[in-house]
Each structure stands twice: as C-alpha cells, then as structure tokens.
Amino acid sequence: MLGEILLKILKKRNIPHAGTDRRLLAIWRRAVGPQIAAQTHPDSLKRGTLFVRVSAPVWMHQLQFLKEEIIDKMNELAGSGSVKGIFFSVGEIPAPPPGAADRQLADPIPAPLKGRDRNMIRESLDAIRDPELREIMERVMTREISRRRQREKRQGL
C-alpha cells in the first residue's frame, strides 16, 4: 500500500524510480521519432499492452491511426513480439532528457509518390488544424504509402 502511494507520487512528479523501464522509453523514442516522443510517454507494458500517455486529445486521436505501424516498429526494435496493442490516455508528459532529440536515428528518405497518393494525403490532412501535427502526419503517411508501394513492387502486385 505504502509502496503504491510512493510510486504514484514519484510518477506524478516525473521522478525516475526503480520501476521505470528505461529500455522501453528508449525503444519508444526510436520507434516514433522526436516529434511524437515529445508529445507522448510510455508508462508500462503489461500483458502485451503498451500504456502510453499523450499530451492532448488531438494527439491521442491521430496516434490511433498509427497504432499498427508503431507496434510493428516497437517489436522490430525490441527484437520480439511483446507489444500486441497500445492504450493511449491523455496525461502529463515529462520533459525529455537533454539531447534526446539529437540521438534519434535519421529516417530514410521515402520514394516519390504518385499524384493520386499525394492527393489522398493532402485531402486526409485538410481537417488537421495544428501545423506541427499536420507535418508529422504527412511524413508518416508518405513513409507508409511509400513503404507499401515498394513492397507491392517487390511482390509483383
């Protein structure tokens, strides 16, 4: 009982404790990139579900569309299939450690997309008012569509 209260206080004040999984945090940051990592914080992984706090409802909504890609990337980086699902909730996000954004791996440049793909992305992003979120979503969508087109080409579809 006392231990649970202490852990809640430490968590609320963003003080690292023995229960903080630094490896999970590092994998999360690599999987989602610096912009999304700055707006999110993975709390724990329990029975295959990754519990993640997000800074605002709009981020939670948009990240729902990226769940499968994030799960795949997390499992790829962890070298396992331990993440089966993600549960997002709105909450306070701790400040990232100094230099965390500088340590991110550069993303490969996606292959050029066809006009219809660019139009679909533009139409999908019209409803997003936040310019930073729109830019992030555009990069993610471009990367995902490019990856799918390259996979289709390799499979001869």
Per residue of the chain (157 residues), what is the pLDDT tens digit? 454 555 566 566 655 554 447 888 889 999 998 889 989 999 888 889 999 999 999 999 999 999 999 999 999 888 888 899 999 999 988 876 555 444 444 445 556 778 888 888 888 888 888 888 888 888 888 888 887 877 777 777 6
- Specify if 13 maps to a domain: no
Range of the domain at 140: 106-157
Q: What is the domain count for the chain?
A: 2
Considering the domain architecture, whether residues 88 and 113 belong to the same structural domain is answered as no
Considering the domain architecture, whether residues 117 and 87 belong to the same structural domain is answered as no
- Specify if 11 maps to a domain: no
The secondary structure of 9-71 as a DSSP string is HHHHTT---TT--HHHHHHHHHHHHHHHHHTEEEEEEETTEEEEEESSHHHHHHHHTTHHHHH
